[in-house]
Amino acid sequence: MAIQWFPGHMHLTKKAIQERIKNIDVVIELLDARLPGSSANPMLATLTAGKPTLKVLNKQDLADPQRTVQWLAHYNAQSGTCAIALDASVSTPAKALVKACFELAPNRGGMVKPMRVLICGIPNVGKSTLINTLTGKRATKTGDEAGITKLEQRISLADDFYLYDTPGMLWPRIIVAKSGYNLAASGAIGRNAFNEEEVALELLGYLKTHYAAMLAARYKLAGTAPPADLQDEELLEAIGRQRGALQSGRGVNLQKSAEIVIYDFRAASLGRITLETPGEFAQWLASGQQLDAERQIKKDAIELDRAIRFKKIKRPP
């Protein structure tokens, strides 16, 4: 399946980050604790040019606590990187954030060398919520559409601590197919960009392997095999039947069942779930990159062929 999204203002945001980054000491990358690997923008590392990075695993209240520990350890083992977990219920997140930033850039501080921090994250990761809590007021949401609100806001957390906000940004091309599904399940991608049934099937495929007990407890499926023994399609159908998602004379309404499954995941009605471990994500990334490289080789060969035929250039030896 191709999940197609339209990153829209991406070029403007990219340009704004490129200009701002020169005068930035620490980059805060807000990640979704339920899908840390998939919610990390692959363009960000290049854009932020090796600046010290604080990975904030946000929405930890929805994520599997054991897996959050694994992800924190994974990031904390990387040089120039520090990681913390947060959620909207933490009333004073500034304390942990400020401390981590000074650990990453210990030479900053005071009026002469204030700490300058850039905060980035994909849409819906909870950036506005966090910034509102940090500032203790209802700051306006940085527009996710360029031209509607300004591209960047500066927020002073203290006299010597500035936070620069950027609009939520997705990237143009997805290389890790599983990331597309996980982003769609999390709510980061607009609903017109994906097919709910496919996303729900993918989600159920993962949940029945890793969180089967939660599925069984939530849906109390009677008269079927345990979730782990069902095909993904059978599971989606059984959930729809159990939840009364029926269409007259034509059995289960699979679209409705898919919406129920996605909604339940987003609301953590199944329990606290994380859709990837660092090891799994590394494997998905490696195979995604390999497929992408193979695709590129084929594309180059087709283009060369075309050039030889139409522009009469010579085939290279």
Question: Footprint of ligand G4P on this chain (CB under 6 A)?
Answer: 58-59, 61-62, 87-88, 121, 123-129, 141, 168, 187
Distance between CA 250 and CA 156 in Å, rounded? 58
| Residue at 78: amino acid letter | Q
Neighbour-count burial for 14-36, b at 16+ CB within 10 Å, e otherwise: bebbeebeeebbbbbbbbbbbbb
Shortest distance, position 188 Cβ to ligand G4P, whole Å: 9
70 or 129, CB closer to ligand G4P?
129
CA angle 290, 294, 300 (to 5 degrees): 140
57 or 200, CB closer to ligand G4P?
57
Looking up tokens 């979704």 gives 32
Distance between CA 210 and CA 213 in Å, rounded? 9
36 or 126, CB closer to ligand G4P?
126
140 or 290, CB closer to ligand G4P?
140
Shortest distance, position 71 Cβ to ligand G4P, whole Å: 15
Query: Is residue 146 exposed (0-12), middle (13-18) or buried (19+ Cβ within 10 Å)?
Result: middle
187 or 205, CB closer to ligand G4P?
187
Shortest distance, position 207 Cβ to ligand G4P, whole Å: 18
Shortest distance, position 258 Cβ to ligand G4P, whole Å: 18
Shortest distance, position 90 Cβ to ligand G4P, whole Å: 8
Q: Which residue is nearest to ligand G4P (CB)?
A: 126
